[in-house]
Structure 1
């Protein structure tokens, strides 16, 4: 499987499941490879933490939905019942709250930095245009005065 393909599958599965082992199985890669890639590739690590944050957001929404509806179990197409473990869901959310908060803070900071870079680039462009306009005006004035 191509490198980028397994990474995409892994990260999507991680966002859906919040489970590294399950995501590895879906991407058909070893856990050692994904952890090694995370250590050596800063972009992949950033995407990993973003996927986990998304996964925990999904878990939180699922938990809220089930609590509001009083739905503690599901029945699949074959009639098998699957109980949703509210206590474990809460423990997972609490255990990873700090990591998710750090990721969201980092993402917010990245957005702010990108916004500032964009604003600075626009200001620089305005300055270049003003300087060019001033140069043109100076040339016109020199021509006018030279006549």
Structure 2
């Protein structure tokens, strides 16, 4: 599997399961490889943390839905019942609450930086257009005075 493919598969599975072991299995790579990649690549690490934040959001929504519906077990396609472990879900959410909040804050800050960069680029472009228009107007006035 090509490098990009395993990374994408790993990140997608991590977002779906919030489980590094399951994600490495789905990607066909070792846990040591993904942890090494995370240490070496800031971009991969950012994608990793964003996937975990997405996964925990999903877990939280699933937990809320189950509590509201009173659905504490599922039945798989073979008819086997699987009890949903509410306590473990809560402990998992609490254990990672701070890191997820930190990641969401980082994403918000990054979004704000991008927005400010885009606003500044638009302001700079507008200023450049105004300066060009002023230069053209000055040139036009100079030309019309020379013609008099």
TM-score, length-scaled by structure 1: 0.98
What SS does the corresponding residue of 1:74 show, helix, strand or coil?
Answer: strand
**1:96 corresponds to:** 96
**1:87 corresponds to:** 87
Question: Alignment length, in residue pairs?
Answer: 147
**1:39 corresponds to:** 39
Q: CA deviation at 1:130?
A: 0.7
What stretches of structure 2 of length at least 5 have no aligned partner? none
Matches within 5 A, 1:63-142: 63-142=63-142
Q: Provide Cα deviations, 1:34-93, integer angstroms capped at 9, x if missing partner.
A: 000000000000000000000000100110011011111111121211110000000000
What SS does the corresponding residue of 1:79 show, helix, strand or coil?
Answer: coil
Instruction: Indicate whether 1:28 and 2:28 are aligned.
Output: yes
Q: CA deviation at 1:30?
A: 0.2
What SS does the corresponding residue of 2:74 show, helix, strand or coil?
Answer: strand
What stretches of structure 1 of length at least 5 have no aligned partner? none
Query: Which is worse superposed, 12-21 or 72-81?
Result: 72-81
Distance 2:124 2:76 in 1: 59
What SS does the corresponding residue of 1:71 show, helix, strand or coil?
Answer: coil
Q: CA RMSD in A?
A: 0.6
Matches within 5 A, 1:53-64: 53-64=53-64
Distance 1:76 1:126 in 2: 59
Greater than 2 Å deviation, 4+ residue runs: none
Q: CA deviation at 1:145?
A: 1.2
